[in-house]
């Protein structure tokens, strides 16, 4: 049979199915949750744009341990409801002879079963590739990023022996700033932190340790801002500080936020919300979505209160509520009561989503783009590492800072439904091309590599620094000796 008939309207040609993603190379690309995409194609050669139904795409992934036992592999099929599927799987131990069986309505797809001799390592294995550039190529990392080039442009030559102490003196403000000083030397991570609230160092520790398990990192020195607000004003000294958020008023070096970093590291682990799960848990078709703008959040800025005022004048266009009062407790009577939290996946039952700043950029923005609703984004001076790659009216609809045109923009979307749908699809494609776990690993890696090229001082582990240790994990590596000689 050349095609599979699922209904009178849906006929799939399995031989034309499009399959891509890093999970097809599990012996080359290591992540806690490996993943790849399956796009179904109909008999006319067109991509399917609706779900074919439950149970149509199935996946079984098997392997053996070093001791010839069955590998413990958790497999998940996510139906994105747009004709595409995400297959992701998590290994609990190192596996050999890993075989992927992917079927459409019981029929094997062309490249499956796919067998990988291995070894295929789990996330905790310390088995780094000794060739950094080769590793970047294997992960399909871009050779450069416009944001990194822009952020590093003031720093052509950096000698931390000259600026280290002045930088620490300026930003060692325990009551207002939390900062960590990192050294990577011989693929080991060392740090010293400053400030009262340094708990968020766990996110930076985690990504650096994960990268070091995968590849030999360049020796490098840098400072990380653990707070949300960028630290380095444009008109002041060019102190290089890595931050999760940037702004037009500052010159911090931006990197992926702690939120998307954690979700990239812990997908199918301790986090429930990640860039893949959002795509697989939006179950309301576009034509059945509620034609209102949906928003939930805390009272982090005055514009969020203004949003409540606007919505009360146009209740037919909005479903918005505050969930917590912290900054404006004296106005609870007017803007409350606080509403209960609901699952993020439930947001997408509505056709329009709003991304509005909190104290800085709202870190939910990438997750909103990954859904299947139209995102309206407030104009902001804050940005994340990917903002400058987005195009207003292509990936989202821009609204004014004071939200004065928000009602008009919602009405425009209602009157231009097909355009709104296409914008939502373009946004999701941008996410798949730029903001999945593979891309987060790449961004950090290229940033560290480019930064290392600008350092002129010899990288040494300093007094009072503590080593950030790799997790205790026994794993047999199939590579040459990866223990490096310490040169302090």
CA dist., res. 461 & res. 458, Å (int) = 10
Q: Tell me: pLDDT of 474 over 80.
A: no
Lowest mean pLDDT among 199-213, 246-260, 337-351, 429-443: 337-351
Q: Which residue has the higher pLDDT, 476 or 137?
A: 137
List the one residue out of 140, 258, 218, 226 whose CA is nearest residue 450. Answer: 218
297 alpha-carbon distance from chain centroid: 20
Query: Residue range 471-481: average pLDDT?
Result: 72
Q: Which two tokens stand for residue 340?
A: 């209960």
pLDDT > 70 fraction of the chain, expressed in percent and rounded: 96
Q: Tell me: pLDDT of 65 over 60.
A: yes
Alpha carbon of 370 to those of 6, 278, 388, 424, 436: distances in Å? Answer: 27, 6, 17, 9, 10
Please report, for the chain, the start and end positions of each structural domain, with discontinuous segments joined by +: 14-125, 146-255+438-468, 284-435
CA dist., res. 279 & res. 369, Å (int) = 10
HSE-up of residue 112 (Cα within 13 Å, Cβ side): 25
Query: To which CATH superfamily is domain 284-435 assigned?
Result: Glycogen Phosphorylase B; (3.40.50.2000)
Element holding 242 (H helix, E strand) = strand 242-243
Q: Tell me: pLDDT of 70 over 90.
A: yes
pLDDT at 266: 92
Alpha carbon of 17 to those of 11, 50, 101, 115, 323: distances in Å? Answer: 12, 15, 14, 19, 43
The model's pTM is 0.94
Q: Which residue has the higher pLDDT, 403 or 338?
A: 403
For 14-125, CATH gives 2.60.40.10
Polymer length of the chain:
488
7 falls in which pLDDT band (50, 70, 90)? low
4 falls in which pLDDT band (50, 70, 90)? low
Q: Tell me: pLDDT of 98 over 70.
A: yes
pLDDT at 484: 38
């Amino acid at each position: 049979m050349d095609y599979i008939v699922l209904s009178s309207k849906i006929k799939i040609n399995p031989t034309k199915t499009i399959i891509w993603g890093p999970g097809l190379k599990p012996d080359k690309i290591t992540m806690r949750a490996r993943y790849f995409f399956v796009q179904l194609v109909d008999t006319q050669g067109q991509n399917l744009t609706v779900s074919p139904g439950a149970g149509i795409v199935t996946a079984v992934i098997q392997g053996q341990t070093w001791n010839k036992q069955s590998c413990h592999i958790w497999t998940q099929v996510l139906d994105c409801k747009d004709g595409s599927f995400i297959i992701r799987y998590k290994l609990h131990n190192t596996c050999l002879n890993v075989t992927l069986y992917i079927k459409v309505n019981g029929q094997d797809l062309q490249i499956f079963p796919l067998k990988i001799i291995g070894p295929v390592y789990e996330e905790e294995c310390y088995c780094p590739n000794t060739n950094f550039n080769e590793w970047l190529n294997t992960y399909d990392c871009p050779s450069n990023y416009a944001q990194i080039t822009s952020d590093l442009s003031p720093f052509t030559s950096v000698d931390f022996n000259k600026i280290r102490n002045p930088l620490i003196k300026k930003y060692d403000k325990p009551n207002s700033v939390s900062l960590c000083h990192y050294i990577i030397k011989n693929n080991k991570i060392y740090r010293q932190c400053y400030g009262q609230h340094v708990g968020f160092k766990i996110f930076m520790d985690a990504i650096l340790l994960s990268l070091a398990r995968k590849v030999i990192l360049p020796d490098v020195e840098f400072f990380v801002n653990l707070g949300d607000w960028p630290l380095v004003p444009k008109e002041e000294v060019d102190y290089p500080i890595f931050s999760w958020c940037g702004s037009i008023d500052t010159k911090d070096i931006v990197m992926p936020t702690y939120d998307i970093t954690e979700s990239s590291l812990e997908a199918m682990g301790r986090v429930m919300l990640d860039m893949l799960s959002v795509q697989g848990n939006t179950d309301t078709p576009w034509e059945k979505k509620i034609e209102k703008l949906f928003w939930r959040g805390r009272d982090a800025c005055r514009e969020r209160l203004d949003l409540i005022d606007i919505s009360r004048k146009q209740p037919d266009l909005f479903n918005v509520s505050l969930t917590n009062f912290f900054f404006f407790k004296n106005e609870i009577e007017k803007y409350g009561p606080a509403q209960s939290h609901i699952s993020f996946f439930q947001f997408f039952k509505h056709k329009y989503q709003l991304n509005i700043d909190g104290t800085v950029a709202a870190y939910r923005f990438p997750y909103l783009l990954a859904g299947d609703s139209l995102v309206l984004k407030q104009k902001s001076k804050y940005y994340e590492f990917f903002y400058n790659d987005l195009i207003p009216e292509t990936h989202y609809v821009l609204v004014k800072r004071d939200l004065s045109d928000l009602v008009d923009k919602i009405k425009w979307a209602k009157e231009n439904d097909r355009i709104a749908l296409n914008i939502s699809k373009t946004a999701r494609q941008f996410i798949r091309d730029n903001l999945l776990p593979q891309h987060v690993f790449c961004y950090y890696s290229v940033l560290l590599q480019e930064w290392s090229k600008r350092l002129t001082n010899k990288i040494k582990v300093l007094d009072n620094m503590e080593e950030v240790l790799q997790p205790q994990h026994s794993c047999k590596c199939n590579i040459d000796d990866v223990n490096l000689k310490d040169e302090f």
